[in-house]
Amino acid sequence: MWQPECEAMDGSDLERLQLARLRETVARIAANNPTYYEKLGKPSPDALTSLDGIQKFPLLTKSDLRAAYPFGYACAPRKDFARMQMSSGTTGKPVICPYTKSDIAQWGEIMARCYTAAGVTSDDVIQITPSFGLPNGGFGFHFGAETIGAFYIPVGPGRTLLQFQLMQDLGATVLTAIATYPIRLIEAAREENFDFKKSKLRVGIFGSEMWSEELRKKIERDMGIETFDIIGMTETGGVGMGIDCAAHQGIHIWQDHYLAEIVNPKTGQVVNDGTDGELVITTLTRQASPMIRYRTGDMTRIVSREKCSCGRTHLRIDRFRGRTDDMIIYKGVNFYPSQIETILLRQEGVAADYQIILAHDPHGNETMELVVELAAPLSSELIARIKRELYDYVGLSVEPQFVKAGELPRAPGKAVRVVDKRKA
């Protein structure tokens, strides 16, 4: 552990610390941002006597943050701002997350914990492939690598041949990336005859998109590495809010910095542990842009609040199964792309890329195409099995269309799994 005194803190001490920091956060909002404080109902910080008290506060959405662009939720004097990251959607204004010096140190600290949980030390060589720019990924991995004192290669995304060259010549042992980037590297490695298993690479830390257990197995097999699922978003201060440890029994959230709730996405009510819902995050130590009950849009559940076999006491959530806005409703059936991915990728011969295309036919009926790339031809039995599983597990009657690997368009950045033409 990077900070055993925090990461293995006794559960009741951890809750006391969370409550004290929640009060400090509310006091910070009261002192710096009257509009934000008003939205919370002007609570007296001392009146918060238990963590449940937070449920009185309204949920905060990405559209609230967009509407307050650029600094409507900021709670530090402008002269204390040290840097910013930005998240932009396909529509509307972006969300700006400012950081004070202390916020940057906090970022380095949580990222150092994440690296350590993935078995990364100052002896490692870390290849950082998320971008160094407005999105938060590259810099998060950078601040963490500086904190643990490892040698890092800030290569950023793209330039595949250079990635291979640096990986080989500089002896990279750790690869960090958005979750579908390894698929691109694996594809290119095949063309270039680059063998990951002959490199020194041993650990992959991936996140920022949904990646199923099946995709994970495929990446681990093809690259010969152990992978770790890291979470965190711009709005909550960037990557590093949590990671799965070597036990791989859920993702630890650093509870001394973040208060996690799971709510029913329809009603906004907190659900019981173990029940699926949307992750809601309150930041407990962030200064420039503290978030109270931010709706992340990520669907998950609380796996356990018990001490983990790794020794950490911080609660564990399930790997994200999708986003609330990813849920597809097709002919009355609700499903997530991750469910389709799980069925496809466990079949031998299916490559890692697929696309779901939704549209209307001329009569206004909904249509769905499922285009799947193949690495090798499938037997008719296997095709029948895929169709049966899509029906049995997801409730979909669909005739998958199989194409050769490389035929689907490749988007820069995150993979495009769903094209919904119904809204047009």
Distances (CA, A) of 121 to 112, 117, 353: 9, 10, 33
Radius of gyration of the chain measured on its C-alpha atoms: 22
Identify which of residues 2 and 181 has a Cβ nearer to Zn ion in the complex.
Answer: 2
Q: State which of residues 247, 375, 398, 416 lies at the interface with Zn ion (CB under 5 A).
A: 247
Alpha helices in 170-244 (DSSP H): 181-192, 213-223
Q: How far is the CB of 177 from Zn ion (least distance, A)?
A: 22
Q: Between 137 and 144, whose beta carbon lies closer to Zn ion? A: 144
Q: Does 328 bind Zn ion (CB under 5 A)?
A: no
Rounded to a whole number of angstroms, the minimum distance from the CB of residue 10 to Zn ion is: 16
* Number of residues assigned to the chain: 424
Q: Does 155 bind Zn ion (CB under 5 A)?
A: no
Q: Six-digit token pair at 419?
A: 């094209």
Q: What's the min distance (Å) between Cβ of 207 and Zn ion?
A: 17
Encoded one letter per residue, x for contact with Zn ion by CB under 5 A and - for no contact, window 202-241 reads ----------------------------------------
Window of 48-56, 271-279, 303-311, 412-420 that interacts with Zn ion by CB under 5 A = 303-311
Q: Whose Cβ is closer to Zn ion: residue 310's or residue 371's? A: 310
- Position 312 contacts Zn ion (CB under 5 A): yes
State the Cα–Cα distance between residues 3 and 212, nearest whole angstrom.
30
User: Among 233, 245, 291, 415, which residue sits at the site for Zn ion (rule: CB under 5 A)?
Assistant: 245
Q: Which of 27, 310 has the CB closer to Zn ion?
A: 310
Q: How far apart are CA 151 and CA 146, in angstroms?
A: 8
Q: Return d(Cα 312, Cα 126) in angstroms, integer.
A: 24
Contact pick of 112, 178, 231, 308 for Zn ion (by CB under 5 A): 308
Nearer of residues 247 and 398 to Zn ion, judged by Cβ: 247
DSSP 277-344: EEEEEEESS-SSS--SSEEEEEEE-EEE-SPPTTS--S-EEPPP-EEGGG-EEETTEEE-HHHHHHHH
Q: How far is CA 166 from CA 121, 159, 173, 223, in A?
A: 19, 11, 11, 16
Smallest distance from Zn ion to CB 217, Å: 20
Rule CB under 5 A: say whether 314 interacts with Zn ion: no
Q: Per CB under 5 A, does 17 bind Zn ion? A: no
Q: How far is the CB of 250 from Zn ion (least distance, A)?
A: 8
Decide if 220 contacts 190 (C-beta within 8 A). no
d(CA 326, CA 403): 24
Q: Name the residue with tokens 């918060």.
A: 48
The CB-of-229 to Zn ion minimum distance in angstroms stands at: 12
Site string (255-294) toward Zn ion, x via CB under 5 A: ----------------------------------------
Question: Closer to Zn ion at the Cβ: 274 or 311?
Answer: 311
| Cβ closest to Zn ion, residue 42 vs residue 305 | 305
- At its nearest, how many Å lie between Zn ion and the CB of residue 309? 6
DSSP 70-108: TTTT--S-GGG--EEEEE--SSS--EEEEE-HHHHHHHH
CA distance linking residue 136 with residue 98, whole number of Å? 11
Residues between 87 and 126 that touch Zn ion (CB under 5 A): none
Q: Which residues in this chain contact Zn ion in the complex, by CB under 5 A? A: 245, 247, 308, 310, 312
